[in-house]
Each structure stands twice: as C-alpha cells, then as structure tokens.
Amino acid sequence: MIEIRGLTKRFGDRAVLDGIDLDIGRGEIIVVIGPSGTGKSTLLRCLNFLEKPDAGTILVGDLTVDAARATKDEILRLRRCTAFVFQNYALFANKTALQNIAEGLIVVKKMAKAEAHAKAQAILERIGLGDRGDSYPAALSGGQQQRVGIGRAMALEAALILFDEPTSSLDPEWVDEVLDLMRQLARAHQTMLVVTHEMQFARDVADRVIFMDEGRIVEQGPPSELFFRPGDERTRSFLRKVLPPA
C-alpha cells in the first residue's frame, strides 16, 4: 500500500498541488486525467522528489517521508521504489540501449556490471528489443526509445512506476507499441500511476481513474463509473471535450 497525505506544492502564490490525499493498492493501475496545467505531472514529480513538495507525507512500504523534513537518504530510498518514465524518454545519448537499462542497476542498486548487463538483456528481450542492445538512442525510433525508458524502470523492480504522459512525444505509429508494453505490465500486476491523454487506454486498463483540476482531486472511480456517470460538472465538461460523441 502507498499512502499520500496532504501533498502540497506551490510555485509562487499558486498552489499547483493543494493537499492531495491518495491511497494506491499493490498491483493497482491508476490513471490521472484532467486539463493541462492542473498539477498532474507535478504530482508524479513530487512523489519521486524530482520536484520537492512543500508539505505532506509519502508512505511506501516501511518508508515514510515527510516532505518538510526529508533527508537525502530518505529521498534516495523513495526513488528506489518509485521509478519514473519520462515523456521525452530521458535516455543517455552516449549509452546503448543495454547500458541505459543497466545504469540504474549499477549506480542505484550497486549491482556488479556483468550481472546488471545480463539483467538488462533479459529486460530487452521482454520489451521486444532483444536484438537492439548495442543500439544508441539516435538509432532507435521514438517508440523503441520509450520502451527502453520503460525497461529501465522495470529493471529497478520498483513498488510503483510513475508514467508522465509516456506517449505524448511519440508519432502516432509508435503509440500502440508503448501502450501494448504498458498493458503487459498491467497484466503482470505492476503498480502504476499514469498521467495520460489516452482515454481508451484508461478505459481498458485502469482499475481507477482520477480527475484532477486546479491542483485537487475532483473525483475518482472505476472507468465504468467516471467515464459514463461522472458526478461533478467539471469532470463532465472535460470529458465532453476529450471523448468522441456517443
């Protein structure tokens, strides 16, 4: 179980996150939707301390992090159990696909290089890129680069994988291969918190969908309820703009 309580982040006078409370069960897939600029990506970045929250607590397993008092050791431990998948891939350009996946195992988990490379190759096989281990990012398509980014997160065996709009930088022909990999992770009961505009993916895969607006969780529920019987007018207005007519 992952528990988030009172998570707050301000930029100047603006509260980008306004006291977020959220529980995430083991193996649960949660999709976060909402208008641009409403704090969805900031929520993910604060959970991994890529942005430092101003207040709140994050509990993952036996680790509890108080945002106001977080130590470097606590932040490192939190990052070990909350892997991040970026929308722009964020691969090391000077490292091969295999080296990109192995890097976290060597640096974060202190794994021996040979063992890390063997595990990275196994991950490449799982994500359908077993023959591209020696390829540098520039030689890979956008979809392949994002799959390597997901493979890097998979290798860390994190309690929670955070996906920040993982298909937003992809050309349309590469979107399905990334979503298919995420569906594989869902079937393997990998706990995921996903910010995305892919509404069909949310309908098909999410256990729970959260609608955020102005830094707050407006409502949440199973896709069958939130998409078809939303209770708040802000949710209904948003869905009318992003869903095809019935």
Q: Is residue 182 part of a domain?
A: yes
Q: Indicate if 130 and 63 belong to the same structural domain.
A: no
Instruction: Please list, in sequence order, all residues whose beta carbon lies within 8 angstroms of the beta carbon of residue 95, skipping any fewer than 6 positions away.
Output: 103, 136
pLDDT at 246: 58
Q: Indicate if 219 and 184 belong to the same structural domain.
A: no
Residue 114 vs residues 92, 98, 127, 130: alpha-carbon distances, Å: 19, 12, 20, 17
Q: Indicate if 183 and 234 belong to the same structural domain.
A: no
CB 44 within 8 A of CB 20: no
Question: Residue for token digits 């997901």?
Answer: 150
Q: Is the dihedral of CA 115, 121, 123, 125 positive or negative?
A: negative
Q: Indicate if 167 and 236 belong to the same structural domain.
A: no
Helix ranges (H only) for 25-167 are 40-47, 72-80, 97-107, 113-126, 142-155
Q: Is residue 175 part of a domain?
A: yes
The pair of three-digit structure tokens given for residue 239, joined into one six-digit string? 């869905």
**What residues of the chain score a pLDDT lower than 70?**
245-246
- Gyration radius from the chain CA atoms: 18
Predicted confidence (pLDDT) per residue in 62-76, tens digit: 999 999 999 999 999
Looking at the 3D structure of the chain, how many domains does it have? 2
Q: Is residue 143 part of a domain?
A: yes
Written as one letter, the residue type at 85 is V
**How long is the chain?**
246
Q: Indicate if 64 and 86 belong to the same structural domain.
A: no
pLDDT at 225: 96
Q: Indicate if 90 and 62 belong to the same structural domain.
A: no
Range of the domain at 172: 81-188
Q: Is residue 198 part of a domain?
A: no
Helix ranges (H only) for the chain are 40-47, 72-80, 97-107, 113-126, 142-155, 172-187, 199-205, 223-226, 233-242
CATH classification of the domain holding 139:
3.40.50.300
pTM exceeds 0.75 for this model: yes
CA–CA distance, 17 with 15 (Å, rounded to integer): 5
Q: Indicate if 86 and 161 belong to the same structural domain.
A: yes
Q: Is residue 44 part of a domain?
A: no
Q: Which DSSP letter does residue 38 get?
A: S
Q: Indicate if 168 and 216 belong to the same structural domain.
A: no
The pair of three-digit structure tokens given for residue 58, joined into one six-digit string? 């994050």
Q: Indicate if 100 and 180 belong to the same structural domain.
A: yes
Instruction: Please list, in sequence order, all residues whose beta carbon lies within 8 angstroms of the beta carbon of residue 68, skipping any fewer than 6 positions away.
Output: 54, 55
Q: Indicate if 56 and 97 belong to the same structural domain.
A: no
Question: Residue for token digits 């359908």?
Answer: 128
Q: Indicate if 126 and 223 belong to the same structural domain.
A: no
Q: Indicate if 159 and 211 belong to the same structural domain.
A: no
Geometric angle at alpha carbon 29, from 27 and 34, rounded to 5°: 155
